Amino acid sequence: MKAFKTLDGLVMPLDRSNVDTDAIIPKQYLKSVKRTGFGPNLFDDWRYLDPGEPGQDHGKRRPNPDFVMNQPRYRGASILLARENFGCGSSREHAVWALEDAGFRVVIASSFADIFFNNCFKNGVLPIVLDAAILDLLFRETEANEGYRLRVDLEQQTITRPNGETIHFEVDEFRKYCLLNGLDDIGLTLQHADEIRAYEDRRRREAPWLFEF
């Protein structure tokens, strides 16, 4: 996994709540057996005016000029501002793969759906929860100032606005450690293999029917 330490990035606002994973990456692209290449189909239904299918040349499709991603001022954005309950719905990790593939490394929202939130950390993407009032301020500033950037520092757990003021955010200690160091958590878990085996031995005695099939 890619490590995440700091990011100075252009901000793109997506001003709607309950953005679900079907909207982030529509189902027809889930047929891929790979982890990469989902970026051109991020927010596909909103981003293009014509319907899309896997394998198509997406560069030749008709972009929806009203959708925020197609506005030149947000080209190259790496920080996504969103609203309540971002990433709700399906567990598809393809949603995070699509965001990451399209260049987003930070998503800021007032709340996230649990599975999406988890999936972010597995892919070097940092989801940040902020109070709705602070989020409102960031939305206003982003929309009012072309080229609006934020600096995110995971170690310090801060977001620095262009005026130099910082916003503190919370992050789980273990997840922060993994993200800062780009650690594969399977490797970390396997360091406890003896404990897993000891648990299994005990459990096999207590509840043998769980191991019968």
Partner 1 sequence: MSGRTLYDKLWDAHLVREDANGTALLYIDRHLVHEVTSPQAFEGLRLAGRKPWRTASILAVPDHNVPTTHREGGVEGIEDPVARIQVETLDHNCEEFGITEFHMDDARQGIVHVIGPEQGATLPGMTVVCGDSHTSTHGAFGALAFGIGTSEVEHVLATQCLIQKKSRNMQVRVEGELGPGVTAKDVVLAIIGEIGTAGGTGHAIEFAGSAIESLSMEGRMTVCNMAIEAGARAGMVAVDQKTIDYVAGRPFAPTGELWERAVADWRRLVSDADARFDRVVTLDAGAIRPQVTWGTSPEMVVPVDAAVPDPEQESDAVKREGMRKALAYMDLEPGTPVTSIRLDKVFIGSCTNSRIEDLRAAAAVVRGRKVAANIRQALVVPGSGLVKQQAEAEGLDRVFLEAGFEWREPGCSMCLAMNADRLEPGERCASTSNRNFEGRQGAGGRTHLVGPAMAAAAAVSGHFVDVRTLSES
Strand 149-153 relative to strand 6-13: parallel, antiparallel, unpaired?
antiparallel
Does position 160 interact with partner 1 (CB under 8 A)? The reply is: no
- Please report how the helices 94-101 and 114-121 are oriented relative to each other, as an axis angle in degrees rounded to 10: 50
Q: Does 201 participate in binding partner 1 (rule CB under 8 A)?
A: no
Q: How far apart are CA 118 and CA 210, in angstroms?
A: 27
| Closer of 7 and 183 to partner 1 (Cβ) | 183
Q: Which stretch binds partner 1 (CB under 8 A): 6-14, 98-106, 141-149, 192-200?
A: 192-200
> Residue 125: CA atoms inside 13 Å, Cβ hemisphere, count?
27
Residue 82 near residue 89, CB atoms below 8 Å: no
- Nearest-5° Cα angle at 102, 99 to 105: 55
Q: How open is the CA angle 42-43-48, to the nearest 5 degrees? A: 105
Residue 71 within binding range of partner 1, rule CB under 8 A: no
- 195 near partner 1, rule: CB under 8 A: yes
Specify the residue, 163 or 213, whose C-beta has the smaller distance to partner 1. Answer: 213
Q: Write the DSSP string, 66-88.
A: TSGGGSGGGTT--EEE--TTBTB
Please, are residues 117 and 143 in contact by the beta-carbon 8 Å criterion? no
Residue 2 touching partner 1 (CB under 8 A): no
Task: Decide if residue 93 touches partner 1 (CB under 8 A).
Answer: yes
Residues 98-117 that bind partner 1 (CB under 8 A): 111-115
Among 147, 190, 201, 204, binds partner 1 (CB under 8 A): 190
What sign does the dihedral 212-191-34-119 (CA atoms) show? positive
**Going residue by residue from 29 to 68, which x/- string records binding to partner 1, judged by CB under 8 A?**
-xxxxxx---------x-----x--xx-------------
Q: Which one among 56, 64, 70, 91 touches partner 1, defined by CB under 8 A?
A: 91
Interface positions with partner 1 (CB under 8 A): 15-18, 20, 22-23, 26-28, 30-35, 45, 51, 54-55, 83-85, 88-93, 96, 111-115, 118-119, 122-123, 172-174, 184-186, 189-190, 192-193, 195-196, 199-200, 203, 207-213
